[in-house]
Every structure is written in structure tokens, then in C-alpha cells.
């Protein structure tokens, strides 16, 4: 199951989930497991309204599946750096915000939902080290400057509208 973000299709802006059925795993230890991938944050922006996967990103997603299956990865399209970042040991592991190998019991506990976001969770964010009070003061100063500029523009617009009304 791969969650794909919005704006990947020219006629529909909605996100979707791709389902891949694997009959070959019926007689393996993975038969009661489902691999969930959340690719909603993996894309290349084409223009304001359209996105696509680059060859490197497609290869990266395919390599996650290869790692899960215990197969050799392919890096001809440049996904080596992404693989080393997310899977440094060269083996499949659950990566928060990206991938999760869920059992049927876990899926049942989620009401049989097949939404990858329920399983992969969210990636850990780096905590920024900053002083909240200082940052708030900076933002407040910037807001005051912008409000002053807005009042000046509002005054200038009113003057111009008055001049236009006098001429007509």
C-alpha cells in the first residue's frame, strides 16, 4: 500500500493510495503482513498545480520493497543516498513517517483500515533550539512594521481614489 499525495494526476487533485497485490508471498513468512509506504511527502513539483515522482524517487520506493523482500537493491537512478539515509544497515526497518510492516492483527486493531498514514505515523522533527520570547518579540516587531506599511498604502489608495473621483 503506497499513499500518494495530491496533484499527481492532471484531471483530479485528490490524493490516492496504490494497492499492489502479491500472490507470490502466500507461502512465505510475510503472508500475514502488509507493507505500508507513505509517499505523500516524496515528489517533485512540476508547476503550481502538478507533481510527479522523479526516477530517483521511484527507484527509492521500489528499493524499499526490495529490502522488505530481501532482494538486492538497484541504484542506477541515484537513490543510493536516500537509501543510506533511511536504511543505513542495508536492511528493511520500519521508518517513522515513511514505512511500516504491519501484521494482520495490527490492521484489525485499526478497524481494517488500509490507510498507510495510520501505520507509518510521522517522522521525528528536529527540535529547533530557540528562545520563544525572543522569537515572538521579533515577529511582533515585523508585524508592527507591516501594519505601518499597510496603513500608508491604505492612505495612498484613498488619495488616489479621491483624485479619480474628482476627475470624473
**Per-residue cell: 60:** 527509492
CB 35 within 8 A of CB 101: yes
Domain around 19 = 2-120
76 and 111 within one domain: yes
How many domains are there within the chain?
A: 2
pLDDT in tens, the chain (168 residues): 999 888 888 888 888 888 988 887 877 778 889 999 999 898 988 888 888 899 999 999 999 999 998 899 999 999 999 999 999 998 999 999 999 999 999 999 999 999 888 898 877 666 677 788 888 999 999 999 999 999 999 999 999 999 999 887
Distance CA 53, CA 77 (A): 12
Whole-prediction pTM value? Answer: 0.68
Amino acid at each position: 500500500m503506497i499513499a500518494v499525495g495530491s496533484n499527481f494526476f492532471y484531471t483530479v487533485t485528490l490524493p490516492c493510495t496504490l494497492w499492489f497485490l502479491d500472490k507470490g508471498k502466500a507461502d512465505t513468512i510475510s503472508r500475514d503482513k502488509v507493507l505500508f509506504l507513505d509517499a505523500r511527502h516524496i515528489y517533485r513539483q512540476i508547476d503550481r498545480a502538478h507533481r510527479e515522482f522523479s526516477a530517483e524517487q521511484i527507484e527509492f520506493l521500489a528499493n524499499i520493497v526490495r529490502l522488505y523482500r530481501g532482494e538486492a537493491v538497484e541504484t542506477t537512478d541515484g537513490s543510493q543516498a536516500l537509501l543510506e539515509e533511511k536504511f543505513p544497515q542495508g536492511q528493511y526497518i520500519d521508518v517513522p513517517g515513511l514505512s511500516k510492516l504491519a501484521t494482520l492483527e495490527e490492521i484489525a486493531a485499526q478497524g481494517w483500515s488500509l490507510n498507510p498514514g495510520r501505520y507509518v505515523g510521522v517522522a521525528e522533527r528536529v527540535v529547533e533550539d530557540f528562545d520563544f520570547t525572543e522569537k515572538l518579540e521579533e515577529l511582533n516587531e515585523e508585524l508592527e512594521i507591516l501594519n505601518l506599511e499597510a496603513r500608508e498604502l491604505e492612505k495612498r489608495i484613498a488619495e488616489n481614489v479621491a483624485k479619480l473621483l474628482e476627475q470624473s
